[in-house]
């Protein structure tokens, strides 16, 4: 008899953003004349930078000619892209990361979801609450948790982000092996200082632990004192893996390109307690299960690092940050306490009522879609997340409508 992986039965029936999409489509089919403004899922709305589009077109043309056609690419991604990443995203910021420590992929979602495969199933995991659901769900699927009781999976150490700790979780009070962190944070939009990250790196070193650092939103950082990468902290290359994406800076949500940095020094331990490098394990995993990102997409991503690309990406992120500023201003004026939005495209708002009640109120009365905080974890109850990814005109309209109903 073929049996299923019963761990899947422990999961909530559907993924948060699918749940929301279902409610929105129900609303639109019942109200076909009402227009909806989507400030829910963090999906970009502006077109790709011209520099990327031009490189993309050129690469597609190359695929049409025998002399320039490309088949399977190198396993870790083309060096033309990895070299640029190493130079611009790390070396120029004084961080020593080499091109062969970078793995190009089709998304930070896939990488943050897949990385757990290279670790033992019996490790102790620390996961933030609220959290981007992928980190948690993929560990549930892998059997690293017990059942979900009262909104918490048994066996997980939850790193609570609350008003009391400024939405930056405290260092665990017990031993954990694998720690997920995300800064600028999804969903709260908070950032972590170098001193705060150093405490995590020290913890990982002292406890033979590892940090999985999701930096998908680093391009929104404007405060020069804030770290863009965990590798800005000395010693982090031994105890951290970092995830980056072209989705939110250059608008690649539909085009798909991202990368993961696994430094050569980065280690975990085998059953006998011997230090084991993670780089070869991730390479083995990726070369077995993944065939890379298409050549034209990698060419388009490379163009992000051209002078024109850099300028365009700055303009795009500034545009969304201007939206975020407007959201904070308006929601604060309406009497709500807002977090994030200054170095992040997300604004975390205390709604003074249940998250889903607030979500329904905004959807049904204002035609605005947000994300209910409770969907990100127990500590998110009472909050909503508003995303700044939309046109300025739509954000203005959404804020006007929200002002009328609250």
> Does residue 42 bind ligand MLT (CB under 6 A)?
yes
Residue 92's Cβ-count burial label (10 Å; 0-12, 13-18, 19+) is exposed
Q: Which CB, 134 or 230, lies closer to ligand MLT?
A: 134
The distance of closest approach from Cβ of residue 369 to ligand MLT in the complex, given in angstroms and rounded to an integer, is 11
At 149, which helix (H) or strand (E)?
strand 148-149
Closer of 55 and 313 to ligand MLT (Cβ) = 313
Who contacts 317 (Cβ-Cβ below 8 Å, separation ≥6)?
Answer: 219, 220, 248, 249, 345
Query: In angstroms, what is the minimal distance from the CB of 365 to ligand MLT?
Result: 23
Point out the residue whose Cβ comes nearest to ligand MLT: 42
Segment 227-286, which members bind ligand MLT (CB under 6 A)?
none
- Which of 109, 144, 228, 330 is the binder for ligand MLT (CB under 6 A)? 109
Structure tokens at 123: 């490790």
132 binds ligand MLT (CB under 6 A): yes
Residue 108 beta carbon to ligand MLT: minimum distance, rounded to whole angstroms: 7
CB 138 to ligand MLT: min, Å: 13
- Closest to ligand MLT by CB, 105 vs 186, is 186
Minimum Å gap between C-beta 49 and ligand MLT is 19
* 248 within 8 A of 345, measured Cβ to Cβ: yes
Taking CB under 6 A as the criterion, the residue among 41, 110, 118, 171 binding ligand MLT is 41
Q: Give yes or no for residue 110 binding ligand MLT (CB under 6 A).
A: no
E strand spans, 67-155: 102-105, 125-129, 148-149, 152-153
Q: Which two tokens stand for residue 175?
A: 């031993």
Distance of alpha carbon 168 from alpha carbon 183, whole angstroms: 9
Category of 335 on φ-ψ map: left (φ > 0), alpha (ψ -120 to 50) or beta: left
Closer to ligand MLT at the Cβ: 43 or 202? 43
270 within 8 A of 281, measured Cβ to Cβ: no
Complex with ligand MLT: residue 197 or 258, whichever CB lies closer: 258
Stretch binding ligand MLT (CB under 6 A), from 24-32, 37-45, 96-104, 320-328 = 37-45
The answer to whether 62 touches 70, Cβ cutoff 8 Å, is yes
Toward ligand MLT, which CB reaches closer, 109 or 198? 109
Short-list 374, 365, 372, 375, CA closest to 400: 365
In this complex, which beta carbon is closest to ligand MLT, that of residue 245 or of residue 286?
Answer: 245
**Residue 377 within binding range of ligand MLT, rule CB under 6 A:** no
How far apart CA 200 and CA 252 sit, in angstroms, is 30
Residue 186 interacts with ligand MLT (CB under 6 A): yes or no: yes
Neighbours of 121 (CB within 10 A): 11
Q: Which residues bind ligand MLT (CB under 6 A)?
A: 41-43, 109, 132, 186
């Amino acid at each position: 008899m073929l049996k299923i992986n019963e761990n899947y039965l422990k999961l909530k029936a559907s993924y948060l953003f699918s749940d929301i999409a279902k409610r929105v489509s129900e609303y639109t089919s019942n109200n076909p004349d009402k227009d909806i403004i989507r400030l829910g899922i963090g999906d970009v709305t502006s077109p790709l930078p011209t520099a990327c589009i031009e490189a993309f077109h050129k690469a597609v043309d190359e695929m049409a000619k025998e002399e320039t056609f490309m088949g399977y690419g190198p396993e870790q991604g083309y060096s033309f892209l990895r070299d640029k990443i190493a130079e611009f995203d790390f070396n120029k910021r004084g961080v020593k990361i080499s091109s062969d420590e970078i793995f190009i992929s089709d998304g930070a979602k896939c990488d943050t979801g897949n990385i757990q495969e290279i670790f033992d199933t019996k490790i102790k995991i620390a996961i933030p609450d609220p959290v981007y659901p992928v980190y948690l769900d993929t560990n549930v699927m892998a059997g690293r948790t017990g059942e979900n009781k009262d909104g918490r999976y048994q066996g997980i150490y939850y790193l609570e982000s609350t008003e009391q700790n400024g939405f930056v979780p405290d260092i665990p009070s017990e031993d954990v092996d694998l720690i997920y962190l995300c800064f600028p944070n999804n969903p709260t939009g908070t950032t972590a200082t170098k001193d705060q990250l150093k405490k995590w790196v020290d913890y990982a070193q002292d406890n033979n632990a590892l940090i999985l650092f999701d930096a998908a939103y680093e391009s929104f950082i404007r405060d020069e004192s804030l770290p863009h990468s965990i590798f800005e902290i000395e010693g982090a290359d031994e105890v951290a893996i970092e995830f980056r994406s072209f989705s939110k800076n250059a608008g690649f949500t539909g085009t798909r390109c991202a990368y993961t940095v696994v430094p050569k020094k980065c280690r975990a331990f085998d059953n006998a307690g011997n230090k084991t490098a993670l780089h070869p394990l991730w390479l083995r995993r990726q070369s077995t299960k993944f065939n890379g990102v298409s050549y034209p997409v990698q060419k388009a991503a490379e163009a992000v690092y051209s002078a024109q690309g850099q300028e365009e990406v700055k303009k795009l992120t500034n545009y969304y940050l201007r939206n975020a500023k407007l959201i904070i201003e308006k929601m604060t004026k309406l009497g709500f306490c807002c977090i994030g939005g200054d170095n992040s495209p997300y604004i975390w708002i205390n709604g003074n009522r249940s998250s889903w009640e607030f979500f329904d109120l905004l959807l049904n009365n204002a035609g605005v879609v947000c994300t209910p905080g409770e969907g990100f974890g127990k500590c998110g109850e009472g909050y909503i997340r508003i995303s700044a990814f939309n046109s300025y005109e739509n954000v203005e309209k959404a804020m006007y409508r929200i002002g009328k109903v609250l």
